[in-house]
Amino acid sequence: MVEDDPSIADAIVSGLGRNGFEPTLVTTGVDAIAAAAGADLVVLDLGLPDLDGTEVCRRIRETSAVPIIVASARSDEVDRVVLLESGADDYVVKPFGLRELVARIRAVARRTSGGADAEPAVVRVGPLTVDDRRRSVTVDGTEVPLTAREFDLLAYLARDPGGVARRSDILHDVWDPNWFGSAKTLDVHVASLRRKLGHPEWIEAVRGVGFRLVEEPNSGATPDDGPADPTDPT
């Protein structure tokens, strides 16, 4: 991860860590060129304090085939042709969400042979563990039996704890792009998921928007927290 703005870098680095990656942060182009040799994939900010991002891209490409995803500040500054000629594999436009970056990383890793082994791994959020590969969920080490759809929904929310997932995005990504069923289906699955996890407060309804997995769930009983009503139709 090459990013000189700590307010962006900190959130992304910790988010990538939660998604099973092992990110290393560098903050200059010179350090990026040096570190690229040992990386499985590079996420490269274009606006760096020392070197132009496309120049960094070119210099990495002189010695390495490591996949590079460029992060640029504004879409109108992105000259896609120049980027691709510089050796970038893909790009994201700031501000980007963690889910989007993770999706791009996995897509780039999939299509670049010999690139990062970035298949979904294990996400840990407090006492909750979501293992994408084994499709298993544990709370405090105890396996929680979920249906396939409940698992997909939880895994989706767990990719960005604290971040709100919009209802329409959940239905699109977890169900089907052409989902025309009742929106109530989502609420039914959330209610069931809350019940099975035994901690209804872990999945918060954000009124009028969607749902999020709380960032720091804990195992303690919190019966007075309020948002635990599984029938909340938000």
Taking the complex as a whole, the smallest distance from the CB of residue 2 to Ca ion amounts, in Å, to: 9
Q: Are 232 and 205 spatial neighbours (Cβ–Cβ below 8 Å)?
A: yes
For tokens 């860590």, what's the residue?
17
By residue count, the chain amounts to: 234
Taking the complex as a whole, the smallest distance from the CB of residue 179 to Ca ion amounts, in Å, to: 38
Taking the complex as a whole, the smallest distance from the CB of residue 56 to Ca ion amounts, in Å, to: 12
Residue 45 as a binder of Ca ion (CB under 5 A): the answer is yes
The one segment of 4-12, 25-33, 77-85, 172-180 that binds Ca ion by CB under 5 A = 4-12
Residue type (1 letter), 211:
F
The number of residues that bind Ca ion (CB under 5 A) is 3
Q: Which residue number has the CB closest to Ca ion?
A: 47
Exposure class string for 30-66: b at 16+ Cβ within 10 A, else e? ebbbebbeebbbbbbbbebeebebbebbbbbbeebeb
Residue type (1 letter), 15:
G
Give the one residue of 11, 30, 35, 47 binding Ca ion; rule: CB under 5 A.
Answer: 47
Taking the complex as a whole, the smallest distance from the CB of residue 95 to Ca ion amounts, in Å, to: 12
Residue 2 as a binder of Ca ion (CB under 5 A): the answer is no
Residue type (1 letter), 184:
K
- Residues near Ca ion (CB under 5 A): 4, 45, 47
